[in-house]
Structure 1
Amino acid sequence: MKALDLAGTAVTNTLRSKLRTFLTVIAIVIGAFTLTLTSGLGTGINKYVDTMVEGFGAPDELTVSKQADGPSLAPGGEPTEYDPDAAASGEMFGMPLLTQDDLDALRATEHVTGVETARLVEPDYIEGADGRKWEVPFMGASFEIDMLSLAAGRAPAEDGDALEVTVPTDWVESLGGAAPEDVVGQEVTLVASDPLGAQSGVDATVVGVTEPVASGSGAGPVPSPELEQRLHDVTTQGLPEEQRNTYFQAIVTVEGMPENEAAVKAALADRGYQAQTLEDQLGVVRGIIDAVTWVLNGFALIALLAASFGIINTLLMAVQERTREIGLMKALGMTGGRIFGLFTLEAVVIGLLGSLIGVGLGVAVGLVANQVLTQGVLSGVTGLVLFAVNPWALLLIIGLIVAIAFLAGTLPAARAARKDPIEALRHE
């Protein structure tokens, strides 16, 4: 019997007892369906994380801050003796701030090709051309300029002394426009307070309107570097110079990443700085996602293990029922190896059928659920992806299930192959 004939016979034999085969296939479908959903969830959420990473910076950048030498932020423990020199340098959220000397040290580090900083400013309100005043719950920073998604206009100029700003699409109507293009070119005033509460305004031109992106860039007004500096001057007016020219962190560009990553990190650590890539900062998130995915996959594998016993039971019963048929095939010259192949092929057919149905259902349900949830109750999360199709993962699931089915079929197939033809022909 040729291989093609053997495969055709295996398919025919599988469909002999339709109910028994159907019940066995259902168990496989459940496992394949669960594996597909969990794999798609892991792929989708990691894809969302990747989108956020792309929006926060480039792969050749390190986020650098000073290592904290002072007291821990955690409650408890003995107090630390007050150091007036350390206090004068300023802190933010318990972390020491970077000074101009620190920025010079970063630029002098081998393999570092650029250092960027941004002022964190909080205007009290923004005044439109019609004189109406609007609160600014979230103010962006100039380092977001390259990450913006524009609905109209352009991004603020990164060089020169231009006082420019972008506003989000949600602000268009409040600023008197019917479409994003209507507010481009409008003159606005951003008003901030100095440490004593005195307010001062800085005039700026709206040059663009931004759409929301997954990283959150453009969710609020984004200023040009010069506008950001002017607002910073207002909010720090009267403070000591060492407190005015400080930065919470810096973005360092490194040549030859990732080969030079370890060397640059080590050099910065020796100088008292902490450097992290975006992957470092999001590594914990990815670890949690992967851990949950593996736990859910474990439950699916348990279902497949149970289904494998169903395959064994189905084929053992088939061997028992077809004992005389096996004896006749052997009497006609069919070898034990061919009989073994026939029964293992029947197991593979059951596994392939169950895996294809389960994977198909899993993909369909995952895509529909993703559409319903991201366009419904989770529509406020920009760029969210809950389920994504990874063709290689789907092929791996199908291959895994077929392999499990093959292994499950080897026991009854071996029993069929070892049957004595004379005894089998006498079987009632």
Structure 2
Amino acid sequence: MNLSNELWIGWRAISANKMRLILTLLGIIIGIAAVVLLVSLTEGIGSGMVDGIEEAVGSNLVWVYPGAITERGVTTRVGSAKTLTIDDAEAISNLPYVAEVAPVSQTSVQVNAAGNNIYTTMQGVTPEFRSVRSFSVTDGRFISSYDLEVKDKVCVLGDYVAKEVFGDADPVGEMVRVGIQTITTSKDGSGSGVLGLVGLKTEVKSRHLKVIGVLEKKGGGGENSPDNVILVPITTMASRLKPMRTPKGEDRVSIIWVEASGRDKMDAVKEEIPPLLRERHYLREGEDDDFVVDNMAQVLDTISQSMEMLSVLAGFIAGISLLVGGIGIMNIMLVSVTERTREIGIRKAVGAKRKNILSQFLIESVLIGVLGGIIGIIVGWGAVFSLSKLFSHTNMMGLDVPVTLSVSPVVIVIAFVVSVGIGIIAGIYPAFRAARLNPVEAIRYE
């Protein structure tokens, strides 16, 4: 008997009970569809996050931000140190492989204009901030060196802030009022202080700024979105808006963005910064750093590790479905062997060999696996296609992350091979059981 005849006989055998076939196929279909969908999702979101972060933040970046400090044996949280300065940024700019440096000071403010208001983040920046963070201006201009020199009261709005405050109107040339909260120590003991000895006064001061530009949209409108900002000259921030000082009275910054001369130089730049800042901050041997240095490589590695963990989880979930499907095939094939015991006995009596019986039941099992695999691939592809139409972007970490969903040929091949493998594995035991039946006893079986 040739292969085509065996395939035809196998198909007639498994399709004789259509409801049983459908129920058997469900486990394989769900498992294969889950494999296709989950692998496509993890690949699409993972690559989208990498692309979105590189576009929003930059690909060659190292950044320095305040670390923890220890006072009287108590270690504060990361970010509480107040020792990072503009002069530190200047010193970092002289290190090898450093292309540009952009110090940033920031605070929370309320922005009012045209009868609308929004709470956002105000950042004091330098002209280098635009290129270091890969920002573009869609309307007006960016902050210039002259603005820093004269400490001009001008600002550049993030896309989200501009739309929330001014709607569709052109904000360039308009004035905005920013409310800045300040905390001062009252000498008369008024306010809320410890035992009334030291009073703390909270007040909100307002300042008017002229809008000179609007940034190109980068992401969503979340709290950490690069669109939800208002940028001012860092010198204006330090002298006219929100002075931030170190314990020594120097102008303090919240973060220092450092652009390396190439992606392959990021690690070298990261290694050079700690010794420089430890020396500048007079940290003795054994003292912890009062700053933290990170780079894009670490962020991307973290994303990759997260995606790998998600892929493992997705594989585990799909694997359970496939295991259930495989057990379903095995059970159905065992039932089929029992129901067709007399048929097997008659075939053996007229000359069929063990290998003929073995191949027949294996072919039936593989046909179920192949059919389930093909349908599962189609269902998974359809789900991926539908999701790609519904979700072309998603918001993660305050960034507008592009999600490109597609089913790669590799995934299709793997899914098909897995379905065939399950059919073979699930059919081995029933096939051997059928092949070992005694023909005399099989014919007498009722």
TM-score by length of 1: 0.70
1:113 aligns with 2:99: yes
Call closer, same or farther: CA 1:104–1:168 in 2, change over 3 Å: closer
SS at match of 2:121: coil
Unaligned runs of 5+ in 1: 72-76, 81-90
The 8 Å contact of residues 65 and 293 in structure 2, kept in 1 or not, is answered as yes
Q: 2:157 aligns with which of 148, 160, 166?
A: 166
Whether the 8 Å contact between 2:369 and 2:420 is mirrored in structure 1 is: yes
**Map of 1:303 onto structure 2:** 321
Cα distance in structure 2, aligned partners of 1:36 and 1:382:
26
Give the C-alpha shift of residue 220 in structure 1: 3.6
Provide Cα deviations, 1:135-165, integer angstroms capped at 9, x if missing partner.
5533366546755587xx4374365436552
| 1:97 alignment counterpart | 83
The answer on 1:139 being equivalent to 2:130 is no
Could you tell me which residue of structure 2 aligns to residue 15 of structure 1? 15
Which stretch shifts more, 18-27 or 30-39?
A: 30-39
1:23 maps to amino acid: L
Distance in 1 between residues matched to 2:143 and 2:83, nearest whole Å: 24
1:205 matches 2:212: yes
* Paired residues for 1:245-264 under 5 Å: 245-258=251-264, 260-264=265-269
Seen in structure 2, the aligned counterparts of structure 1 residues 149 and 24 have a Cα distance that, compared at 3 Å, is farther
**Pairs within 5 Å for 1:342-361:** 342-361=360-379
8 Å Cα contact 1:45-1:387 kept in structure 2: yes
Q: Aligned ranges for residues 191-340 of structure 1 at < 5 Å?
A: 191=178, 200-207=207-214, 210=217, 212-213=219-220, 216-223=225-232, 227-236=233-242, 243-258=249-264, 260-271=265-276, 272=278, 274-278=292-296, 280-281=298-299, 291=309, 294-295=312-313, 297-322=315-340, 337=355, 339-340=357-358
What is the DSSP-based 3-state SS (H/G/I as helix, E as strand, rest coil) of the residue aligned with 1:98? coil
Q: Can you list the C-alpha shifts for 1:54-89, whole angstroms capped at 9, x where unaligned?
A: 344223212223554534xxxxx9458xxxxxxxxx
Asked if the contact 1:31–1:358 (Cα under 8 Å) also holds between the matched residues in 2, the reply is yes
TM-superposition CA deviations, 1:260-316 (whole Å, max 9, x none):
444443443445463323453476676566546644643442332232222122223
Unaligned runs of 5+ in 2: 148-153, 185-202, 279-290
Superposition map of 1:174-193 within 5 A:
174-175=165-166, 179=168, 182-183=169-170, 185-189=172-176, 191=178
Equivalents in 2 of 1:256, 1:389: separation in Å?
A: 31
Shift of 1:183: 0.6
The answer to whether the 8 A contact 1:166-1:221 is kept is yes
| CA deviation profile, 1:208-254 (whole Å, cap 9, x unmatched) | 6747548722124345xxx4442333135596896453322222223
Cα distance change of structure 1 residues 244 and 220 upon mapping to structure 2, 3 Å threshold: same
* Residue type at the aligned position of 1:204: V
**SS of 2:105 mapped into structure 1:** coil
Q: Distance in 2 between matches of 1:211 and 1:67?
A: 28
| Structure 1 residue 116, shift from structure 2 partner | 2.4
- The structure-2 alpha-carbon separation of the partners of 1:387 and 1:12, relative to structure 1 and needing over 3 Å to count, comes to farther
Contact 1:148 1:155 in 2 (8 A): no
Distance 1:8 1:323 in 2: 20
The Cα RMSD (Å) is 4.7
CA distance in 1, matches of 2:362, 2:347: 16
**Letter of the structure 1 residue corresponding to residue 240 of structure 2:** V
2:25 is the alignment partner of 1:25: yes
Secondary structure of the structure 1 residue equivalent to 2:157: strand
Structure 1 residues 243 and 33 mapped into 2: Cα distance closer, same or farther (>3 Å)?
Answer: farther
CA distance in 2 between counterparts of 1:278 and 1:113 reads: 15
Overall identity of the aligned pairs, in % = 21
C-alpha displacement at 1:349, in angstroms?
1.9
How far the C-alpha of 1:95 sits from its partner, in A, is 2.6
Task: Determine if the alignment matches structure 1 residue 154 to structure 2 residue 139.
Answer: yes
Looking at structure 1, the residues matched to 244 and 305 of structure 2 have their Cα atoms a distance apart, in angstroms, of 46
Residue identity matched to 1:186: G
- Cα distance in 1 for residues equivalent to 2:245 and 2:19: 83
CA distance in 2: counterparts of 1:187 and 1:396, whole angstroms: 59
Aligned to 2:200: none
Separation in structure 1 between the aligned mates of residue 219 and residue 403 of structure 2, nearest angstrom: 18
CA distance 1:281–1:70, shift in 2 (3 Å): farther
1:265 partner letter: K
| CA contact 1:126–1:188 (8 Å) conserved in 2 | no
Q: Distance in 2 between matches of 1:173 and 1:102?
A: 36
Name the SS for the 1:115 alignment partner: strand
Partner in structure 1 of residue 288 of structure 2: none
- TM-score, structure 2 as length reference: 0.68
- The aligned counterpart of 2:283 is none
